[in-house]
Copies of this chain bind each other. A is one copy, B any other.
């Protein structure tokens, strides 16, 4: 309801300044660029406010596109969100796997692999803090449309950690009494919460610093004199 009468006609469609033809990979990449802008806008807004409290109008505005464009590119608000989740966790999983494999290639121990994965996790969170926030906030909710997506995607990431633990047990490096699933969850939690604390409350600290603190904890070098 506009406060008073309004032209209601676009009249002169102002040219949108620097569009610059986007280029990138020649063909239909304009669309892809728009989707990327929408992801970026959505991830920060939803991390700050939550899914339901974030409006499609806000997302469109921050991305610098019209609301209709959101619906031209995504079937709905929740589909946009789901694709965002899949995309983000895909990056994380790849990064963890890469860390584990590289350690294996260098004949490192499985503890080294865990340590490398801790670092990879920190690097990820350092790079995508908003995504991490949002992910944590949604992970344990029930009754949400994207629950199953989240489940699948979570399992992919945790499975990488579980795999390393299992290898360690198999080759005798870890006690065969450890509970793989629970230990993996605990390790993920350790990194997740420590990193979010870092980003939220002491962002000035360096990644190496944080990594060192977690390494110590991971390797049980807490007890006893330094």
Q: Is A111 among interface residues, defined by CB-CB distance under 8 A? A: yes
Q: Is A57 among interface residues, defined by CB-CB distance under 8 A? A: no
Give the complex CA separation of A223 and B189 in angstroms: 19
Give the complex CA separation of A185 and B190 in angstroms: 8
Q: A194, B202: Cβ atoms under 8 Å?
A: no
Contact digits for A30-58, partner B, Cβ 8 Å, 1 yes 0 no: 00000000000000000111111100000
**Using Cβ atoms and an 8 Å threshold, which residues of chain B touch A50?**
50-52, 137, 141, 144
Q: How far is the CB of A34 from chain B (nearest CB, A)?
A: 25
Copies of this chain assembled into the complex: 2
Q: A190, B197: Cβ atoms under 8 Å?
A: no
Partner among B141, B188, B200 whose Cβ is within 8 Å of the Cβ of A48: B141
Residue of B nearest to A137 (CB): B137
Give the complex CA separation of A179 and B142 in angstroms: 35
**Using Cβ atoms and an 8 Å threshold, which residues of chain B touch A191?**
186, 189
Q: A176, B137: Cβ atoms under 8 Å?
A: no
Interface size on A, residues (CB 8 A): 60
**Using Cβ atoms and an 8 Å threshold, which residues of chain B touch A142?**
47-48
Q: Is A222 among interface residues, defined by CB-CB distance under 8 A? A: yes
**Using Cβ atoms and an 8 Å threshold, which residues of chain B touch A219?**
220, 223
**Using Cβ atoms and an 8 Å threshold, which residues of chain B touch A183?**
213, 216-217, 222
Q: B140, A138: Cβ atoms under 8 Å?
A: no
Q: Is A198 among interface residues, defined by CB-CB distance under 8 A? A: yes
**Using Cβ atoms and an 8 Å threshold, which residues of chain B touch A136?**
136-137, 140
Contact digits for A196-217, partner B, Cβ 8 Å, 1 yes 0 no: 1110111000000110111011
**Using Cβ atoms and an 8 Å threshold, which residues of chain B touch A7?**
none
Q: A194 and B182 in contact (CB under 8 A), knowing A49-B144, A133-B140, A140-B133?
A: yes
